[in-house]
Structure formats: structure tokens, C-alpha cells
Copies of this chain bind each other. A is one copy, B any other.
Amino acid sequence: MEVTRRDLFKGSAALVVAASASRVALAANDPLPSWNDSPSKKAIVDFVHATTDRVSPKFVPEPERIATFDQDGTLWVEQPMYSQVVYCFDQVPAVVKAKPELANVEPFKTVLTGDRAAIAKLSVPELLKVLAATLTGMSVDQFEADTNKWLKEARDPRWKRKFTDLTYAPMLEVLTFMRSNGYKTYIVTGGGQDFVRQYAEKTYGIPPEQVVGTAGGTTFGYDKTGRPFLTKDPKLLLNDNNAGKPEGIHMMIGRRPFAAFGNSTGDRQMLEYTKAGNGERLAMLLLHDDAEREYAYGPAQGLPDSKVGTFTQALYDEATARGWLVISMKNDWKRILS
């Protein structure tokens, strides 16, 4: 059994050493078994060791170990449409049932037809109307019940699996590896904070309080029996995309991350902000370049922009210039889905 310098700081008690040794042995086996032995994998492992080894000049005290992960396209599949948008479309019939006058009003009329080509052509303001009608106006408890019902029943169109099953095995390993080394893992998503919090704990081991996302306000009030409750209202408090990501991190966490993972231009500022901190920082972008096992998309590969998880050439160039790692799904990952 080899004992590293790190073990020395874990205490000399026989039990403590035994526990450490077994943890190290496990880690020695391979903390990231779904990754090929590539520079990307090595960079992650080296970063974690460098920042958690007490004698390393790059050591980071445990309370400061914050790692942030974009969700859509970074932790789970985002194509052909963000899951939350699918949820919103799926809720439209119930919304129209409650307010029948909407049946002949756009964009609800088009959504009700189920005509995918027509739905895909909805404008942003029309889309926002659908989001507002399906994500706000109800109590927080009602929203929780609705989303959990949907998460159990809905299936994605390609794999016919629950959306929460479409997570990337290699990324779940990164989450576990970082947490087992004292990192607090956060989701920092452009998706709805309230939506992602419904499943983040079960799906990623990330508790609700470590989910930062696009968030509307709520309004406190009392029901007829005098019981207080919160209603979701349409006022936007945090648009957690682009510059909103570092702004949201400051608001919700108050510490700069030491590691950040993303996959699109919406993550650019989060990665810049992370890397601008002192000491060792890790920034990674996931490139969707595996058309066979998942999807391949984005201008950085000369492919059409699907408008979902846009990876531009400019982002690719910035990653190269600033030393961010670009993960190739095709080359770096042995397997994709969990």
C-alpha cells in the first residue's frame, strides 16, 4: 500500500489511515472510469489533486472549493429542445382547460395543434408567453406537484427514456469525484431554478440550495384558512445566462468558483470570471461532436447553429487563447449516457 503525502494530513490514527487508504485506493483505481485517458481527463484529475493537496502551492481551503456546472448540454442532453421547454408545451392543454378563452389565442392555438414545424417557428415573445403561462401564476406547491408528475411520465423523443435519465455518465463522475475531494458542486443554469431544483438532488446529488438558475420572484400571501403560501410571479429576478451567470453566482453563492464547466456561449462569462480569480482555476467546455452516440452541432465545427447550446467559433478561439479545456464527447468519453 502506498501512502501519499496527502494521507499524512489526514491523521495518524490507524482507523483514519485505513479509511484514507481505502479512499485513495478507490481513487487510484480510477475516479473517472467513463473517460478515455486523454489530456482532458488528466487536467481534471491534476486540478483536483493540486488544489486539495495540503503541501501543494495551489492548495485551496475546503470552504472555498466551489465548482459550478451548467446543466443543459453539460450535465444532460439538451437536443432537440430544452426539457423545460418541452414541459411548458406539455402543460399548455391544462392551462387552456383552466382558461378556455386561450384556445383561440396565439401562441396557445398553435401549440395545441401539436404541429412541430409550426411550433418551432414561434417567435421569442410568443415563446415567452407560453413560459409565463406555464411557469408562473400558480403556488410553489402546485408547481412542485405538476413538475414531479411530468418528470415521472414524460419521455424524450429519441431514447424513449425519462429526461432525468439522459445525464452524461462522465460528468456525473466528475461531480462525485469533486465532491469526494471537498468541492461543493453547484448547478448554474439558464434553465428555471425552481424547475431544476425538483430533480437535482436525486439526479445529480446536488441539493436545491446549490441550484442557481433563471429565477422569477414569488409573492407571499395567505389562503382562505390563513395558511401562508408563495405564488410564482412573472417578475424576472435573475436571467442566469451570459453575464447573468457570474452575477447570479455572486448573488447566490458569494464566492468565485475554482472550477466551471459549460458548453455554449451562455457560459462564456462564467468561465472568464472563474479563470480571473487568483491561483489555480479550471475552465472546461464540452463540445458536442458525436452525432452517432449523441448529437453534433454548432458553428465551431462548421455545423448549423441549432439555437440550443450555441458553440461559436469565437468561443472556441477564446477557449484556445485562454487555456480553457475543450472536452470532445467523441474522443474523450468512453460512454455518454448514464
Contact = CB atoms under 8 A, between A and B. Distances in A.
Nearest to A9: B11
A11 B14 CA distance: 10
B16 A254 contact: no
* Best-surrounded residue of A207, A220, A273 (most CB of chain B within 10 A): A220
A300 interface: no
Interface string A197-210: 10001000001110
Contact of A220 (B10, B140, B247): B247
Interface string A9-47: 111111111000000000000000000000000000000
Count of chain copies? 2
Contacts of A173: none
Given A63-B201, A197-B254, A215-B251, A220 B273 contact: yes
Given A11-B12, A17-B13, A250 B218 contact: yes
B63 A228 contact: no
A45 B62 CA distance: 30
B211 A254 contact: yes
A253 interface: yes
Given A13-B13, A228-B273, A273-B220, A63 B215 contact: no
Choose among A66, A201, A246, A250 the residue with the greatest number of B CB atoms under 10 Å from its CB.
A250
Contact of A246 (B15, B220, B243): B220
Interface in A181-208: 184, 193-194, 197, 201, 207-208
Contacts of A184: 209
A218 B269 CA distance: 14
Contacts of A269: 220, 228
Interface string A212-238: 000101111000000111100000011
A264 B194 CA distance: 29
16 contacts: A11-B16, A12-B12, A13-B17, A16-B16, A193-B251, A194-B254, A209-B253, A209-B255, A215-B251, A218-B251, A220-B269, A228-B273, A230-B273, A237-B237, A237-B251, A252-B252
Given A220-B247, A228-B272, A229-B276, 4 more contacts: A63-B207, A211-B254, A220-B269, A252-B252
